[in-house]
Amino acid sequence: GYYPLDEPGLRVWLAQRPALAAKVGGAPADWHITEVGDGNLNLVFLVRGAAGGVCVKQSLPYVRAAGESWPMPLERAFFEYQHQQVAGPHLAGLVPQIWHYDPLLYASVMELLSPHIILRQGLLAGRRYPQAVTAVAEFAARSAVLTSALAQPFEAVFDQAALFSRNHALTRVTAELVFADPFEDLPRNRWTSPELDEVAASVRADAALRAAVARLGHRFLTQQDALLHGDLHTGSVMVSDNDTRVIDPEFAVYGPVGFDTGAFLANLLMAYFSQPGHATAADDRRDHADWILQQAGVFWRHFAQRFDALWQAHADGDAWPRRLFVGEEGVFARARREHLQQVFADTLGFAGAEIIRRILGFAHNLDFEAIADRSQRAAAETRALTLARALLLQPQRFADIDSVLDSAQALVEA
């Protein structure tokens, strides 16, 4: 029963479902339908009508960014829907509502976010969204604690982890694209400037770097702490001036919490490094760059504070049960601090791996790609790669988030 939707097909399909058609409103012939998917994988339609509208997202049987030569199972839409079923109750106001999932078309009908835009696009355009990173940190902290055995009986967590462990296709994408590809000579790797040839070769030749990333890949595949978003970059966040939603959890899988926080931190750092490349005569982008870097600090600090507070408030699961520490709150607090230090260390490592794969692997970031001047682009990417290598190979240099931000700033100002 699967077929890829197009504009006329979607009009008919939606019109046949009265509850969904009512959310668009008016006569189907008057609906305004556009396909807006700009990600690597799926079709995304916005359908607008008299009552508002809906967003329809459908899996394609291949990687959209690569074409039919790279087949991809359709099941990712199911796991995105399951993410809402499992984590959605903890994430009210931070994610769009999915109203309908169609198992034949592998399509979801969800809330149309308007006037939201993708956070990455906003940052590129030089706009500020003061609440965005705290909302993403809240998303990450809630997911990290409330879907884990810190807050739930282990039976529930094991069942959920088993469900998402079937998300084979997209977990394989991550296992290969993040943790392996950039360290091999593969045709699907690419970088946008010959200036990076040398650094790409030196990354592949660096056994210590390969080992650091492989260690993280091992943790990603084996440490089932909490339900991850799995692809938490600035393109997975939609913002308006006063609302922020995390979208696209199709890579959802149980894994180490630092994978999500690392991915988001990395994408803020890449947005920072890219800013000089977007400078104009009217705007040298320095203020905007400083603001983005500051937001990276706000993100980590808010995450850490909320992770600790949520753990303390919801320690009713089988891991670290609060009842064992009544009257010994200091012991419990020390355990939380130590655990958070491990999540911080993981975050920096995963951030390093994310930066490397976004510059030297298959899937790139518009932050860098939109820099027209080749040497500026190469300079920005090289600075990001320098920080990534330090995060992976010299973790002792980074005791806290400020030391990361200071290093990033020093690279830009050198």
List residues binding Mg ion (CB under 5 A).
39, 248
Burial letters 362-385, b for 16+ CB under 10 A, else e:
bbbbbbbeebeeeebbbbbbbbbb
List 74, 173, 200, 392, residue binding ligand SR1 (CB under 6 A):
173
40 binds ligand SR1 (CB under 6 A): yes
- Cα 200 vs. chain centroid, distance in angstroms? 24
Q: Which stretch binds ligand SR1 (CB under 6 A): 33-41, 202-210, 216-224, 283-291?
A: 33-41
For residue 119, which of 139, 133, 102, 134 has the smallest C-alpha distance? 133
Does position 255 interact with ligand SR1 (CB under 6 A)? The reply is no
- Residue of 60, 63, 86, 315 interacting with ligand SR1 (CB under 6 A): 63
39 is an interface residue for ligand SR1 by CB under 6 A? yes
Q: Which is nearer to Mg ion, 39 or 122 (CB)?
A: 39
Nearer Cβ to ligand SR1, position 14 or 44?
44
Query: Which residue from 231, 260, 367, 381 is in contact with ligand SR1, where contact means CB under 6 A?
Result: 231
Please state, in angstroms and as integers, the Cα–Cα distance from residue 99 to each residue in 46, 169, 254, 307, 356, following that order.
Answer: 14, 24, 24, 29, 37
Least gap, CB of 358 to ligand SR1 (angstroms): 8
Beta strand ranges found along 249-396 (DSSP E) = 253-255
What residues does 245 pair with on adjacent strands? Answer: 238
**Contacted entry of Mg ion, ligand SR1, none for residue 173, CB cut-off 5 to 8 Å set by kind:** ligand SR1
Pairing of strands 117-118, 62-63: unpaired
Least separation in angstroms between CB 248 and Mg ion: 4
Within residues 307-366, the interface with ligand SR1 by CB under 6 A covers 363
Q: Is residue 41 a contact point for ligand SR1 (CB under 6 A)?
A: yes
**Residue whose CB is less far from ligand SR1, 76 or 116:** 76
Write down the H helix ranges in 241-285. 258-274
- Judged by phi (left if over 0) then psi (alpha if -120 to 50, else beta), residue 248 lies in left
Asked if 385 is part of the footprint of ligand SR1 (rule: CB under 6 A), the reply reads no
| 356 contact choice in ligand SR1, Mg ion, none (CB below 5 to 8 Å, kind-dependent) | none
Classified as helix, coil or strand, 61 is coil
Instruction: Give phi and psi for 193, each to the nearest 5.
Output: -140, 135
Nearer to Mg ion, 193 or 365 (CB): 365
Give the span between the Cα atoms of 197 and 132, in whole angstroms. Answer: 35
Q: How far is the CB of 363 from ligand SR1 (least distance, A)?
A: 4
Closest approach of Mg ion to the CB of residue 237, in Å: 10
Contacts of 331 (CB under 8 A, 6+ apart): 325
Q: Does 217 bind ligand SR1 (CB under 6 A)?
A: no
Q: Which residues bind ligand SR1 (CB under 6 A)?
A: 39-41, 63, 173, 177, 231, 363
